[in-house]
Structure 1
Amino acid sequence: MAQSGMNGKRESVIDENLKRVYEEALEEGVPDRFRDLLDALKKQDAPTGQAK
């Protein structure tokens, strides 16, 4: 039974750490270089000189 309690505690700590890292990743902004690349790709995909 003690082993099961230790595993539960360990899983809880791992779970909390994964959630914290995930939250930190969500709070990070998109790097400028990546944003520039996305803008360039959008311009590349945009139709040029075509009537709508």
Structure 2
Amino acid sequence: MTEPSNDKRHGGAIASATAAFDPNGAIGRKLKSFYDAVETEPVPDRLLDLLEKLDEAERRAESGS
């Protein structure tokens, strides 16, 4: 059986897979640009309302115990 690191047929595939996970590679840069775009979007009012209701329920639970 041949060791994977010595198998010349798959050497390019391993290098490509490693490059795909490089945070400075093309995919990493694209993901960062998507993240940056989402990060600057405002939080929807509906989500803020739900979070406020959760906080209120937690306050009531703490004061009731």
Q: TM-score, normalised by structure 2?
A: 0.51
Which protein has the bigger helix share?
A: 1
CA RMSD of aligned residues (A): 2.3
Which has the greater radius of gyration? Answer: 2
Show structure 1 runs of 5+ residues with no match: none
Higher relative contact order (CA 8 A, sep 6+): 2
Show structure 2 runs of 5+ residues with no match: 1-11
Aligned length: 42
Partner Cα separation in structure 1 for residue 54 and residue 39 of structure 2: 23
Q: Structure 1 residue 47: deviation in Å? A: 3.7
Identity, % of aligned pairs? 31
Picking from 41, 55, 64, the partner of 1:28 is 41
In the TM superposition, structure 1's runs of 4+ consecutive aligned residues that sit over 3 Å from their partners are none
Q: TM-score, normalised by structure 1?
A: 0.61
Partner Cα separation in structure 2 for residue 15 and residue 42 of structure 1: 36
